[in-house]
Amino acid sequence: MDKIVQIDGIDKILLNGLMQDARMSINQLAKQVGISGAAVHQRLKKLERSGLIQGSQIILNPKFLGYTTLAFVGVYLDKAMNNPEAVKQLKKINEVTECHYTTGDWSVLIKIMCKDNADLMNLLNNEIQKIPGVSRTETFISLDQQIARQIKL
């Protein structure tokens, strides 16, 4: 079972600072909270070891790479036991950026990025729907992402 990590006010300030700008230096963070850089470093390492901080990453703007169509696809599987193999095959498709095991009608919900609608149709018809065990899909094209944020501390 996942554990709940206890954080204090200083941890919240550090985490909020890094969520705003992951490139913020330890010295900048130390000045914000009024403790030494070594103490900030120790706190961040502790938060990493606890699993609360899962890493840092650069987030690319897919539109600058020509990916203008974002879609969510509900994938129906013939049988629940087909899930592990279907997910294994979905991992091989670079355009699949997220995959969630869900309740409800679909077996899994995936998020995909495509160059355009023709690319989306090709991906659905020639890759996703050809995965053994996939009986059908239901696709929702995102017109605009209106909220993008992390959980609030």
Domain membership of residue 92 as a residue range: 62-142
- Among the listed residues 46, 40, 19, the one whose alpha carbon sits nearest the alpha carbon of residue 28: 40
What average pLDDT does this structure show over 103-123? 97
How many separate domains does the chain show?
A: 2
Rounded Cα–Cα distance for residues 152 and 138 (Å): 31
Q: Are residues 42 and 79 in the same domain?
A: no
Please, is 45 exposed, middle or buried when counting C-beta atoms within 10 Å of its C-beta (0-12, 13-18, 19+)?
exposed
Q: How many CB atoms lie within 10 A of CB 140?
A: 11
Q: Are residues 106 and 81 in the same domain?
A: yes
- Among the listed residues 56, 58, 61, 57, the one whose alpha carbon sits nearest the alpha carbon of residue 113: 61
Residue 58: helix, strand or coil by DSSP?
Answer: coil
CATH code at position 121: 3.30.70.920
CATH code at position 13: 1.10.10.10
> Is residue 125 scored above 90 in pLDDT?
yes
Structural domain contains residue 79: yes
Length of the chain: 153
Structural domain contains residue 42: yes
Rounded Cα–Cα distance for residues 123 and 121 (Å): 5
Q: For residue range 21-54, what is the model confidence (pLDDT) as tens digits?
A: 999 999 999 999 999 999 999 999 999 999 999 9
What average pLDDT does this structure show over 86-97? 98
Structural domain contains residue 153: no
Q: Are residues 28 and 97 in the same domain?
A: no
Rounded Cα–Cα distance for residues 17 and 21 (Å): 6
How high is the pLDDT of residue 123?
Answer: 98
Q: Are residues 46 and 70 in the same domain?
A: no
Q: Are residues 82 and 38 in the same domain?
A: no
What is the pTM for the complete model shown? 0.85
